[in-house]
Amino acid sequence: MDNFREESISRANAGLSTLIYILSFIGIIVFGFIALLNFMSIYNKGFSIPAIIATLIFGSIAFGCLALRNNQRIEYDYTFTNGILDIAKIINNNKRKLLLSADIREFEIIAPISDEGFQNVLNRKGIEQKFNYFLNRGAGLYYGLFVHEGKKSLLVFEPSNALVQMFRIYNPRNVKVE
């Protein structure tokens, strides 16, 4: 029987993110329109250095607003299948990027960040990679210590209790439950 669980983590309080999303969308329209007007003046009136510079500046601002807007709608997907944890980033509900794939059996420890060992792990020398794949700060955060691509790595993420219990099936000695 396969052990499978998929969880999607999104921001608990998305009020500020929604406001930034709306303002950046307005910025895309306004600055994009201004850049288009400057480009049209180049096309109609001929070559003009100030108009080219203004077109590039306002076009860059519109592109920056687009990037800002897309970064307001981020989710993390944790997919656990038979001991393998895959973490993917979902951007604006349409772009999925696999960030990490790790075998739970290879973790030295998985524990809540409230565990006394977390501060020791943070101060430990030799950790070459740190993966922070969480959106909400609080009691549900866990950390894991493992070797990824030959480098000692630290993962901080926010799995549910059900997912942590599944981790215990594959690595019972090294998984601590809150």
| pLDDT tens-digit readout, 57-95 | 999 999 999 999 988 889 999 999 999 999 999 998 889
Residue 142 and residue 88 share a domain: yes
Residue 120 and residue 46 share a domain: no
| Residue 1 confidence class, pLDDT cut points 50, 70, 90 | low
Task: Tell me if 158 is assigned to some domain.
Answer: yes
Residue 105 and residue 19 share a domain: no
Residue 80 and residue 56 share a domain: no
| Residue 115 confidence class, pLDDT cut points 50, 70, 90 | confident
Per the structure, the count of domains in the chain is: 2
β-pairing, 84-91 with 74-81? antiparallel
Task: Tell me if 7 is assigned to some domain.
Answer: no
Q: How far apart are CA 152 and CA 59, in angstroms?
A: 42
| Of residues 178, 177, 117, the one with CA closest to residue 145 | 117
Q: What is the mean pLDDT of residues 34-58?
A: 91
What pLDDT was estimated at residue 13? Answer: 67
Residue 54 and residue 35 share a domain: yes
| pLDDT tens-digit readout, 147-158 | 999 999 999 999
Which residue range is the domain that position 51 belongs to? 15-70
Strand order across the 129-133 sheet = 109-112, 142-148, 151-157, 129-133
Answer yes or no: are the C-beta atoms of 136 and 156 closer than 8 Å: no
Percent of the chain's residues with pLDDT above 70: 99
Task: Tell me if 161 is assigned to some domain.
Answer: yes
Q: How far apart are CA 83 and CA 102, in angstroms?
A: 8
Task: Tell me if 106 is assigned to some domain.
Answer: yes
Q: What is the mean pLDDT of residues 102-125?
A: 92
Q: How far apart are CA 115 and CA 3, in angstroms?
A: 27
Task: Tell me if 4 is assigned to some domain.
Answer: no
Residue 146 and residue 84 share a domain: yes
What pLDDT was estimated at residue 73? Answer: 87
- What's the whole-model pTM score? 0.82
How many CB atoms lie under 10 A from the CB of residue 130?
11
Percent of the chain's residues with pLDDT above 90: 72
Residue 90 and residue 59 share a domain: no
For residue 39, which amino acid is it? Answer: F
Q: What is the mean pLDDT of residues 6-18?
A: 84
